[in-house]
Amino acid sequence: MIAKDNPYFAVRKRLSNDSGLSYRNDELPLIRDDKKRPIWNMANAITLLTDHGDWQSVLGFNQFTMRRVLLRAVPGQRGGEYPRPLEDDDYSAAQAWFNRNGFPRASMEIVRAAVRKVCRHQSYDPLRDYLDGLQWDGTRRLNSWLADYCGAELSEYLQEVGKRWCISAVARGFKPGCKADHMLVLEGAQGRKKSTALATLAGEDWFSDALPQMGTKDASSYLRGKWIIEVGELEAMRKEVDAIKAFITRQVETFRPAYGREEVSEPRRCVFAGTTNKDDWQRDETGGRRFWPVRVGEIDVDGLARDRNQIWAEAVMLYRKGERWWIEGEVAEQAQAEVADRRPDDPWRADIARVVQSRSEITAKQVLGEMGVLPCDMTPILARRVTQELVALGWERAGRITSGEGKGAARYIPGEDAVRVR
């Protein structure tokens, strides 16, 4: 994923393996015994891995994947593609290097600990490097990328959500853990290449469509090294709406990594995109303001791949200009209306909307009565059905009726979006 012309490599001078340094030479600040021989301890191992020419530009730490990596081969090894994650055999190769160079009893415990520590001190961030290296050509594509490459119908709403979502991805690249509590949702028939479009935008190595169960430690650690994460088949998650909302709104992942001794807190670097083949996937009674649905058509994957860098370059330019990455005002209202349109049809919806149209407060029982349901037929299931539609229509629960015939019943009043949400 990291090209050899990456800015990281430009700032690190690759020294010759033949450093000319001796373990008995004062050029290396090693701890020595009374005969001036270097002793084997953690401090000396760190000094050698840091200052000896053999080890220059070998060890690194990928801040995006949160993994220790080799930037080039361990001294004495040959071949292979770099950079790559550290493997167990690499620690053995490092131990062998110490054995060959004056420390025949170099312990694996110290070698491993020293390598891990030195890696941390030589960090780089491939996502930030990628974004920093982009140069925008001045042609605007961001407003219309969902229409131009994904076949969606161009509108002000479409332009806004497409642009803001991309800027939010850039923001997470430059400012890990910043608030980005929304999810673009691509709707379209099976085979429309929705997942392919997202993978093309992110780059194969930085995309995932296999997120483990949300809220688990596995899900938290899985986010490492991912920039765009697809949440597929939203309609199959009707019972998990609250879990999805809670998960996508988190800004920091706190968990104990596999084989780790301490918990870690890692600010998020990713954004989310949902995909679905259905148009009635919405199950959130509160309106699902975190979802930004878009109906796509034929997707131009080749065009998206061709212009990917320029789409992100424009998003970087706007981010640096201080553009926001959330929607507000009429666009936010339109998003809520779009989400409301994705709720499964309820034959009662129009009747309930008619009943509450001119009311300032109401109860579920009153709605049922207005619809002609006899008191003897009013069940908790029917009341629940009414309250779900009230919330979907923008009404909010506001305590209980304190007097009169409906005393004690849950009271609903119109919220700010009651008139606008269909």
pLDDT number for residue 48 = 96
Cα gap 386→402, rounded to integer Å: 21
CB 222 within 8 A of CB 211: yes
Percent of the residues in the chain that have a pLDDT greater than 70, as a whole number = 89
Q: Is the pLDDT of residue 199 over 80?
A: yes
The residue ranking higher by pLDDT, 286 or 228, is 228
pTM of the model: 0.77
Dihedral of CA 258/217/174/209: which sign? Answer: positive
pLDDT number for residue 345 = 66
Average pLDDT over residues 124-131: 98
What is the CATH architecture assignment of 129-340?
Answer: 3-Layer(aba) Sandwich (3.40)
Q: Is the pLDDT of residue 54 over 70?
A: yes
Cα gap 168→290, rounded to integer Å: 13
Q: Where in the chain is the domain with CATH 1.10.10?
A: 349-414
DSSP string across 153-199: PP-HHHHHHHHHHHHHHHHHHHSTT-----EEEEE--TTS-HHHHHH
pLDDT number for residue 285 = 60
pLDDT tens for 296-319 read: 999 999 999 999 999 999 999 999
Average pLDDT over residues 115-128: 96
pLDDT interval class at 4 (50, 70, 90): very low
What is the CATH architecture assignment of 349-414?
Answer: Orthogonal Bundle (1.10)
Q: Where in the chain is the domain with CATH 3.40.50?
A: 129-340
Q: Which of 410, 64, 415, 34 is nearest to 268 (CA)?
A: 64
Q: Is the pLDDT of residue 237 over 80?
A: no
